[in-house]
Amino acid sequence: MEGTVSEGLPVGGTGDGQLPSGDELIGVESLVKHFEIRGGLLGVRRIGAVRAVDGVSFSVRRGETLGLVGESGCGKTTLGKVILRLIPATSGQVRVKGRPIFGLNDREMIPIRRDMQIVFQDPYGSLNPRMTVGEIVGEGPYVHGLRSRQEREELVRELLARVGLNQSHIHRYPHEFSGGQRQRIGIARALALNPEFVVCDEPVSALDVSIQSQVLNLLDDLQQDLGLTYLFIAHNLAVVEHISDRVGVMYLGKLVELAPVDPLYQQPAHPYTVALLSAVPETDPRKRKKRIVLKGDVPSPAAPPPGCRFHTRCWLRERLGNPERCATDEPALREVRPGQMAACHYAEEVSPAAIEAASRASESGMTAELAAG
């Protein structure tokens, strides 16, 4: 494991996205994951690091779905994998039922592994093409001590039926299924050890819209029946709104907003969240969307800007006259409204009037560019 991993940070009340310890199933504190960049004559000298996840803290309540959104490359998937210890953390800590897990050895992790599973984004690439469905779904129980072939087959048939697949599919191979069916196999595999916490890493992004709704409804039903807790990672904000209880927004390795789903969608507190929500297509053609187009490109995670990482593209900072504080002081994730946290020095300035003015300025800028072109 890289770096130094803290062993016993206290769980704060509601600061930094934390919950009282009795409410949380998963606690993430100051989590960091940097990928080293090596160069030099032999390619072994460390010349930098990609800051994929950089000091993220939050908690997940038992039985809830925490949605995680953000642009590609912001660190969502890496965060999910570090929480599950699929890749090592650089520093920070993750708690499962109050127990720090980064200091545990492989044997001590066995019961933790049973409680934490993942549904991968690619429903075909995550399944071994040389194994039958029965072998894929039954592999986890076999590794964890269920040696009886008959008992494993009964368990697999029960799981296939639960996720809406025919029990006769047990002897088929992944290439014989559609994308939606493969994802159901992935869900069955995740449920095979009766986990409490499941990371859903963009589980519907590779599927058709009609199939997406079926898989989402299946995940919802399974949560109700089995009391599951989800970390749901996605790009599609409409999907996240449908399935989540709370939503976290990431930008360039940082958690910039965390709030219950209704307040976040109706009254976002961070300027990046405002711009992200403005990009969601409007289904009613009679309604005019207040679009805010961000200027410039996303900075490199290998060289993030100082201060607030969003300040180079922030429409609110531009509206406020480019205050120097944004470029020098990194904002902490703080409570802006009850239950709603944002990492912005001027979150209180995010108002409907400010959003309207930024939308008009964005539209006029786009019109000027089109006229010049």
The reported pLDDT for the residue numbered 19 is 57
Average pLDDT, the chain: 89
Q: Which residue has the higher pLDDT, 367 or 197?
A: 197
Q: pLDDT at residue 241 above 90?
A: yes
The reported pLDDT for the residue numbered 11 is 34
Q: What's the mean pLDDT in 34-56?
A: 90
**How many other CB atoms are found less than 10 A from the CB of residue 151?**
12
The reported pLDDT for the residue numbered 124 is 86
CB 291 within 8 A of CB 362: yes
The reported pLDDT for the residue numbered 208 is 86
In the chain, DSSP assigns E strands to: 24-39, 45-61, 65-69, 91-96, 99-100, 116-119, 197-201, 229-233, 246-251, 254-260, 334-337, 340-342
Measure the CA–CA gap between 221 and 242, rounded to whole angstroms.
13
The reported pLDDT for the residue numbered 54 is 95
Q: What's the mean pLDDT in 83-109?
A: 95
Q: Which residue has the higher pLDDT, 289 or 258?
A: 258
Question: What is the token pair recorded at 134?
Answer: 């029965």
Residue 295 falls in which region: left (phi positive, over 0), alpha (psi -120 to 50) or beta: beta
Residue 287 falls in which region: left (phi positive, over 0), alpha (psi -120 to 50) or beta: beta
Q: pLDDT at residue 369 above 70?
A: no
Q: pLDDT at residue 152 above 60?
A: yes
- How would residue 184 be classed by pLDDT, with cut points 50, 70 and 90? very high
Q: Rounded to 10 degrees, what is the CA torsion of 343, 347, 351, 356?
A: -60
Listing DSSP states for 70-118 in one string gives -STTSSHHHHHHHHTTSS--SEEEEEETTEE-TT--HHHHHHHHHHEEE
Stated pTM of the model:
0.88
> Which of 17-26, 244-253, 266-275, 282-291 is predicted least confidently?
17-26
How confident is the model over 332-342, as pLDDT tens digits?
Answer: 999 999 999 99
Nearest to 63 by CA among 189, 193, 335, 246: 246
